[in-house]
Amino acid sequence: MIINSGNDYIAALKGNQPGLLKDVKTNFTPEFTYEQINKGHGRVEKRHVSICQNLDGIRPWPGLTTLIPVKSERRGKNLPRKCQPFTGTRCALHD
């Protein structure tokens, strides 16, 4: 398994893990949140990142230690009114 190498990894949590994804959507409580807004090149990009290491209510998954949802939204004069936001949950894994 990839975590047996002794390194730390970040993996994307998607629909192919429906039980874990449901647990995260139901039980995720952010412990730290950061928001950044960048302006330049005719657009505005907003990023929202949260971190949670409390895995209560989250089913066991090998090496799972931290959940990191990331949301990003871009707006600009050369872009549609609002670009589809990127939303995804990252999972920090280590041995």
Domain ranges of the chain: 2-50+72-93
Kindly state the average pLDDT of the residues 58-71.
86
* 19-55 pLDDT tens trace: 988 898 899 899 999 999 998 888 888 888 889 999 9
Which residue would you say has higher pLDDT here, 75 or 32? 32
**DSSP states of 14-81 as a string?**
-TTSHHHHHHHHHH---SEEEEEEEEETTEEEEEEEEEB---TTSPP-TTEEEEEEEEEEEEETTS-S
Mean pLDDT, rounded, of the chain: 79
- Amino acid type, 18: P
- Amino acid type, 62: P
Q: Is the pLDDT of residue 70 over 60?
A: yes
- The reported pTM is 0.73
Q: What is the pLDDT of residue 92?
A: 60
